[in-house]
């Protein structure tokens, strides 16, 4: 490829803009590349900010991936920090820029323009929210302000508003600093991208670790004295004493420039781009949190404010603006979070996503160990697959656990990208040694279980569906096939105990014409029981997917009650 002179202007740094600048230079050595960044830092690891607040990352400079000087030395990109782009003139192909330090206004021409404005933290207009001890965690200065306040005031009680990824990471950071922490989430669950039964695993773990979780309640107001908030009032009327609050409500895409320039904004609330990252103006590209992304499962436009897609979009935008020809096909929304020792990961569609998009689907829940049980240190994983009913195609996956979550979600994200079915998962040839995996590892086992359902070897029922049946079908035959000791510890109220090893001898005590639901602890013994019953003339038999280990985790239940 022959380089040719071009003036490329990039608005915004961090993931999308910085990636675009570096790739544009690699494609075109002759281009004049200028990046304008409103803030004081051009490229920083914003995903690392909670860990900097909590001193897991002690050196602030570790967060600064590039500086204006390093960008110039390596890429010959002119980076102008503290410069705010005020407007885009598409007809004259220039931008109006304000130097925030001097106030000077200038006009910069461009041949190609790349928008990477990102998204800003949502700060709702609540009474008292401008108090000096209420912060967001979106930028390096945000984190600096939190650390400075904590050093000067030594807070003891903190409220984290929002139970999303950043909120939970920040809660852990504050717990590590010995604060008493309450997370307030307006929705009925934390971690909204997850299904409620999976998110409840996380909230239960956090409560055990000492974080107070309030769900289904929002902030009404903050009460302050002399500009320092001392109390958060919730919509329910509950009042929480506090010395510090962190807002982690979400982010809103920065669309002002794009809107005023007349660029197409889509129904999902982001800048519309094609697979070249071109906007409705072919000379303007866009990348990062402000753009809409094609979901690789649904094919529909959505927004994914995630670092992975932003970096890839920036790379494509930079290459194409400089004369290249790269494509960004879309993303799955694969994400992972760790807090207080528990890890939650998701890729593709959750069950509630599948319902929203009107898929004919089923779910399959398994609870395998992260490596061979006979090797020390094995921990349980909780895995939920969403599967297309007719084809068996994988639609999405969620995993909760303490070890091995990351590599399993990445395998499943790869399977989703390749369009694999659950029967394909059965045949995956994955590495096995007892300290790393089982011979029938968690992903393969999840494939086995889901494929059994797909092939009709077993009909499954979810915890939610079972609750409905228990309420509406008084004649339901409910069979517990666990051991007597497990039954004594906890069981469903109208269940009959027949341990799996004794089932064949007691078949005559059951009615083969009555609808029957079988359950065990995790689903395996229930599956074996269903296979026995079906081959002895029982017609309407279901296995509780995930077993009792999933059933009590619904929000309205607890682990200890006999139901």
How many CA atoms within 13 Å lie on the side-chain side of 471?
6
Catalytic residue at 520? no
Neighbour-count burial for 425-444, b at 16+ CB within 10 Å, e otherwise: bbeeebeeeeeebbeebbbb
Question: What distance lies between CA 195 and its chain's CA centroid?
Answer: 11
d(CA 437, CA 430): 9
d(CA 478, CA 422): 28
Return phi, psi of residue 320, to 5°: -75, -35
Counting every residue, how long is the chain?
A: 563
d(CA 392, CA 247): 41
Encoded tokens for 29: 């050595």
Active-site residue, from 47, 187, 268, 507: 47
Encoded tokens for 174: 């504050």
d(CA 250, CA 240): 21
203 within 8 A of 344, measured Cβ to Cβ: no
Return phi, psi of residue 518, to 5°: -110, 140
Would the CA dihedral through 317, 319, 323, 329 be positive or negative?
Answer: negative
Encoded tokens for 18: 């910085």
Beta strand pairing call for 293-294 and 301-302: antiparallel
End-to-end CA separation in angstroms for the chain = 69
Q: Considering only CA atoms, which of 11, 38, 4, 25 is closest in space to residue 94? A: 11
Cβ of 178: how many Cβ atoms within 10 Å? 8
Return phi, psi of residue 399, to 5°: -140, 135
Helices H, strands E: what count in the chain?
A: 15, 32
- Rounded to the nearest 10°, the torsion over CA 549, 555, 556, 557 is 30
Catalytic (active-site) positions: 47
């Amino acid at each position: 490829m022959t380089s040719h002179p071009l003036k490329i202007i990039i608005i915004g740094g961090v993931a999308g803009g910085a990636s675009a600048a570096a790739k544009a230079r690699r494609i075109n050595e002759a281009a004049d590349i200028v990046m304008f960044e409103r803030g004081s830092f051009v490229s920083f690891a914003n995903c690392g900010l909670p860990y900097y607040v909590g001193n897991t990352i002690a050196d602030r400079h570790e967060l600064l991936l590039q500086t204006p000087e390093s960008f110039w030395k390596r890429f010959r990109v002119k980076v102008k920090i503290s410069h705010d782009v005020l407007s885009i003139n598409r007809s004259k192909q220039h931008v109006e820029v304000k130097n925030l330090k001097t106030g000077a206004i200038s006009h910069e021409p461009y041949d190609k323009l790349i928008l990477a404005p990102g998204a800003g933290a949502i700060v709702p207009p609540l009474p008292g929210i401008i108090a000096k001890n209420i912060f967001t965690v979106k930028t390096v200065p945000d984190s600096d302000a939190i650390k400075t306040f904590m050093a000067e005031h030594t807070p003891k009680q903190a409220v984290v508003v929002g139970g999303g990824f950043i909120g939970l990471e920040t809660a852990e950071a504050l717990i590590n600093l010995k604060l008493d922490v309450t997370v307030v989430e307006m929705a009925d669950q934390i971690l909204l991208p997850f299904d409620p039964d999976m998110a409840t695993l996380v909230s239960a773990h956090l409560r055990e670790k000492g974080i107070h979780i309030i769900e289904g309640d929002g902030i009404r107001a903050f009460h302050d004295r002399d500009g320092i908030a001392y109390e958060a009032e919730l919509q329910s009327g509950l009042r929480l004493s506090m010395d510090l609050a962190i807002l982690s409500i979400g982010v809103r895409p920065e669309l002002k420039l794009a809107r005023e320039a007349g660029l197409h904004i889509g129904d999902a609330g982001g800048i519309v781009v094609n697979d070249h990252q071109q906007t409705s103006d072919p000379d303007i590209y866009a990348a990062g949190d402000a753009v809409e992304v094609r979901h690789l499962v649904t094919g529909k436009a959505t927004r994914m404010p995630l670092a992975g897609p932003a970096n890839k979009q920036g790379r494509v935008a930079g290459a194409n603006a400089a004369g290249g020809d790269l494509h960004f096909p879309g993303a799955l929304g694969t994400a992972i979070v760790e807090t207080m020792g528990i890890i939650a990961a998701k890729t593709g569609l959750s069950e509630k996503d599948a319902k929203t998009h009107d898929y004919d689907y089923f779910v399959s829940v398994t609870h395998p160990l992260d490596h061979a049980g006979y090797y020390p240190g094995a921990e349980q994983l909780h895995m939920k697959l969403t599967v297309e009913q007719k084809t068996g195609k994988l639609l999405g996956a969620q995993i909760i656990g303490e070890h091995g979550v990351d590599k399993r979600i990445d395998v499943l994200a790869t399977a989703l990208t390749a369009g694999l079915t659950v029967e394909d998962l059965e045949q995956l040839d994955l590495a096995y040694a007892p300290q790393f995996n089982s011979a029938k590892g968690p992903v393969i086992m999840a494939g086995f279980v889901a494929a059994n359902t797909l092939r009709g070897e077993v009909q499954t029922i979810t915890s939610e569906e079972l609750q409905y049946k228990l309420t509406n079908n008084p004649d339901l035959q409910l069979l517990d096939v666990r051991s007597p000791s497990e039954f004594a510890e906890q069981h469903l109220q109208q269940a009959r105990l027949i341990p799996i090893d004794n089932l064949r001898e007691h078949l005559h005590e059951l009615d083969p014409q009555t609808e029957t639901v079988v359950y065990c602890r995790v689903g395996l013994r229930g599956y074996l029981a269903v296979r026995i019953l079906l081959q002895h003339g029982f017609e309407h038999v279901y296995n509780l997917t995930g077993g009792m280990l999933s059933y009590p985790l619904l929000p309205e239940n607890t682990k200890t009650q006999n139901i």
